[in-house]
Amino acid sequence: MRHLPHFSRPVLLAAALLAWNVPLTHGQDVKPDSPQQVHRFTAEVTRTVTLEYLLFLPKDHAADPARRWPLLLFLHGAGERGSDIWRVAVHGPPKIVRDRPDFPFIVVSPQCPTGRTWSNEELLALLDDVIARYPVDRARVYLTGLSMGGYGTWSLGLAHPERFAAIVPICGGGDPLKVLLPDPQMAQALRTLPVWAFHGAKDPVVKVGESERMVEALRKAGAQNVQLTVYPDAQHDSWTETYNDPNLYEWLLRHRREPAP
C-alpha cells in the first residue's frame, strides 16, 4: 500500500492539577524582611488539537501481523504549512515513497497549520496515537525535518531524546542552551542520541552556522554520536541530496533505543 488517506484526529493535551493562587507562609519560602510574598499558582489547562498527516505503510506490512516496523516522523518546512495536506509530499520521505512502495519505514508526515510552527507537545501526542494504532517498532522511532522542520527536529529531539533512536535535522537550528543545560533526567539520553545534521554551505535562508553551533554544543555536552555534513555548493535545498541518499536510511536503521518501561 503506497499511501493511506490523511487523517484528522483530535488529541487532548492536559497539564496536571487544578489549584489556586495562594500565599505561602511556611519555611524558607518566607523572608520576614522582604516586602514581597511568595505565591504558587497551579492550574489545569486542557485543549484539543487537530493535525492532518500523511501516513505511509510499507507494502508488506499486512503480510505478517506480528512484525513491527521502524517509524520515521517527518517535519516539513514553512512553505508547506496550510490546509492542503498534499503540499507536505513535495519534499522528503513523503515524496520518496510515491515511487518506493518497498520503503522500509512507516512514514508519518503531519502538516503544520498556517501561521504556526511545530509544537513539541502536539507532535508527541500524534506520535503516541500512531504508535498505539499501527505496527511500530518502538525501539526504532526516528525524527527528521527540513528548514522549519529542521528547527522542529532539533527542538523535539533535544527536549525528548529518550523517544528517538536517532534524529536528522536538515538546514535548521536550535537553542544550544537546551543542550548545555539539559533536564538532568534527560542528560544521559541526550548524550547517547545519534544525530546526523545536514546543511548547505551557501544557504542564504538559514546560515550554516545554525547547524554548526548545535553540533558544537552537543559535542561539548559529551554527545557520543553526532556529525554534520555540509554540502559546499548547496544553498537552502540541502534536503534533496540528503533524502535521496540510501546511506541515510542505512545509518538510521543501525540505531535503536529501547523505550522506557
Note the pLDDT tens digit of each residue in 181-210: 988 989 999 999 999 999 999 999 999 999
Other beta carbons less than 10 A from residue 222's beta carbon: 11
Residue 209 per-residue DSSP state:
H
pTM score of the predicted model: 0.87
CB environment 119-157: b (16+ within 10 A), e (fewer)? beebbbbbbebbbeebbbbbebbbbbbbbbbbbbbbbbb
**Average pLDDT estimate for 127-132:** 96
Query: In order of start, what are the domains of the chain with their CATH numbers?
Result: 51-253 (3.40.50.1820)
Strand order in the sheet with 166-170: 4-14, 46-56, 106-110, 69-75, 136-146, 166-170, 195-200, 226-231
pLDDT of residue 3: 47
How far is 211 from 229, CA to CA, in rounded Å? 10
* β-bridge partners, 52: 8
pLDDT: which is higher, 31 or 64: 64
Give yes or no for residue 2 having a pLDDT over 70. no
In order of 94, 113, 199, the CA distances from 110 in angstroms are 10, 10, 23
- What mean pLDDT is reported for the chain? 90
Local structure of 174: helix, strand or coil: coil
